[in-house]
């Protein structure tokens, strides 16, 4: 669901789109661009296909805004994006605004109650890139590294290893549909990247 349709379904006005587009076009972004937001909106729409129109609109708005503020500061970025979304949802009922905020905040730890179907759609879609073809995944990994260029190589390597180990230690996707579509490739991609980073450690044998 695109931005105008989602906002209209929630009774709001789509006036914030130029500002949203501008934020996603910031020059320091490499992966967390409007292309990523559009992909999350697309994949979350597929995963939320069985929900009602209002719920699908809420998921769509959360997808478009979940990374609207992005300065490579995990946690702070998501909280700032939730604030941005609240300010942008002119005319939207408070209950829907709160739901959008909650969904964006759920992306901080990628966790939510098991029966939260809206969160499942958003969180699984946000991780779809992990199950992309190998070359596309490699492009994502390089782009994220460029976004975190402020960190020296050794700091990035150890941080990335911790992130990859964390993802491989848990079930990545909440829904059966997402697991069927992306889980196998995601495990292979994450494992391959983790192996490469471990080999770059000075004490690797």
Distance CA 118, CA 37 (A): 16
Distance CA 40, CA 130 (A): 12
What is the value of pTM for the model shown?
A: 0.96
**CA-based nearest residue to 44, from 117, 108, 143, 134:** 117
Work out the pLDDT band at 181, boundaries 50, 70, 90: very high
How much is the pLDDT for 138? 97
Distance CA 100, CA 85 (A): 8
Displacement of CA 6 from its chain's centroid (Å): 18
How much is the pLDDT for 204? 65
> Do the beta carbons of residue 159 and residue 201 sit within 8 Å?
no
How much is the pLDDT for 203? 80
Q: State yes or no: pLDDT of 205 exceeds 90.
A: no
How much is the pLDDT for 67? 98
From the CA atom positions of the chain, what is the Rg in Å? 17
**pLDDT tens digits for range 75-123:** 999 999 999 999 999 999 999 999 999 999 999 999 999 999 999 999 9
**pLDDT tens digits for range 25-55:** 999 999 999 999 999 999 999 999 999 999 9
How much is the pLDDT for 52? 97
178-198 burial string, b = 16+ CB within 10 Å, else e? bbebbbebbeebbeebbeebe
């Amino acid at each position: 669901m695109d931005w105008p349709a989602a906002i209209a379904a929630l009774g709001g006005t789509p006036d914030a789109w130029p500002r949203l587009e501008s934020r996603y076009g910031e020059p320091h972004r490499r992966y967390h661009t409007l292309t990523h937001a559009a992909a999350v909106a697309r994949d979350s729409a597929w995963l939320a296909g069985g929900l009602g129109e209002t719920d699908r609109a809420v998921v769509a708005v959360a997808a478009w805004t979940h990374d609207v503020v992005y300065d490579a500061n995990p946690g702070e970025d998501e909280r700032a994006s939730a604030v941005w979304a609240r300010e942008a949802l002119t005319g939207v009922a408070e209950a829907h605004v709160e739901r959008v905020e909650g969904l964006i905040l759920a992306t901080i730890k990628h966790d939510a109650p098991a029966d939260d179907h809206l969160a499942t759609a958003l969180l699984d879609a946000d991780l779809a890139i992990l199950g992309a073809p190998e070359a596309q995944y490699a492009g994502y990994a390089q782009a994220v590294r460029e976004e975190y260029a402020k960190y020296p190589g050794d700091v990035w390597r150890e941080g990335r290893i911790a992130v990859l180990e964390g993802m491989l230690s848990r079930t990545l996707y909440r829904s059966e549909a997402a697991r069927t579509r992306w889980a196998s490739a995601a495990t292979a991609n994450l494992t391959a990247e983790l192996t490469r980073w471990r080999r770059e450690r000075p004490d690797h044998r």
